[in-house]
Amino acid sequence: MRNEIDRFLASLTHERNASPHTLRAYSKDLEQLEVFARARLGCEPTVTRIDPWLLRAFFADLHGRRASATTAGRKLATFRSFFRFLCREGTLTKNPARSLVGQKKDQRIPTYLQEQEAGELMKSSDNTNKSEERDAAILELLYSTGMRCSEVVGLVLDDVDVGNRSIRILGKGRKERWVPFGKPAHLALTRYLRTRAAISGGDPVFVGVNGRPLSDRTVRRIVARGLLRASIRTKASTHTLRHSFATHLLQRGGDLRSIQELLGHSSLSTTQRYTHVNPRYLLDIYKQTHPKA
């Protein structure tokens, strides 16, 4: 089974240009299935021994460990993709994951900061921190562009058009999008870049004190420290700033299609979650467009 997993991951890299984050997630899911199958079968599993019954047992075990519907859904999508690949290359004749039905996910309303809270977070600089300019630039860009944490970490200088205040972002599936950023983010980024030694276009924008690219964990700590300094009690993360970006655009009259493009969502239904945050948006659209409103 290990050889098939390696071939599948290689195909994701070369054919679909999958991101390192996606590859790690797929690899972890398939390794968990391999370990479960080995314990269940009592021998080294082969892909031909993986049938719908074994997969159902895997998800029953996952449910017993209180895994969320989102986690189970992602693993099911991984397995379907893996076995579809094996069918396509002729290793299997039937996809054992095809008949499985995923758990219904709870429709979670995104958490977000109020505009005042976001403003306080942007001003929560730490004068005692040697990386004050870097941290301020990261916070401003997260809120100004709606970037994901991984997208900030992967940003290189060639991706940033400082003069035109826009950023080229490689999102999920290596999909490219251009996103503008505001004057406060432009000012913070300019201040930070002045503190950097000469860097070329392929160098990472944000680095640690050792000069190496930041990790996702470091960016999350920067946000957590900022929230603490700003005395914001709302449970928040880097993704909360992404939600705040979208929600505040919607509240100020932005249309869903434009917000979808800025966030890099492949489906409008994903962006539509933000209408639940701001039901007044739907009421305003109704009043403006319905002839009998």
Measured CA to CA, the distance from residue 130 to residue 133 in angstroms comes to: 8
In tens, the pLDDT along 233-287 reads: 888 899 999 999 999 998 888 888 999 999 988 888 888 888 777 777 777 777 8
Residue 177's H or E segment, with its range, is strand 176-180
Of 45-54, 82-91, 191-200, 212-221, the range with the lowest mean pLDDT is 191-200
Beta bridge partners of 167: 160, 179
Residue 167's H or E segment, with its range, is strand 166-170
Measured CA to CA, the distance from residue 8 to residue 19 in angstroms comes to: 14
Determine the 3-state secondary structure of 230 from DSSP: coil
pLDDT above 70 for 134: yes
In tens, the pLDDT along 63-90 reads: 888 888 888 888 999 999 999 999 999 9
Determine the 3-state secondary structure of 123 from DSSP: coil
Question: Which distant-in-sequence residues (6+ apart) come within 8 Å of 17 by Cβ?
Answer: 173, 174
Question: Which distant-in-sequence residues (6+ apart) come within 8 Å of 31 by Cβ?
Answer: 5
34's tokens: 């391999």
| pLDDT attached to residue 121 | 93
- pTM comes to 0.70
Whether the CB-CB separation of 110 and 247 falls below 8 Å is answered with yes
- Residues known to be catalytic: 148, 172, 239, 242, 265, 274
Find out if CATH 1.10.3720.10 is the number for domain 115-288. Answer: no
Instruction: Give the residue extent of every domain in the chain.
Output: 2-88, 115-288
Q: For residue 63, how many other CB atoms are within 10 A of its CB?
A: 12
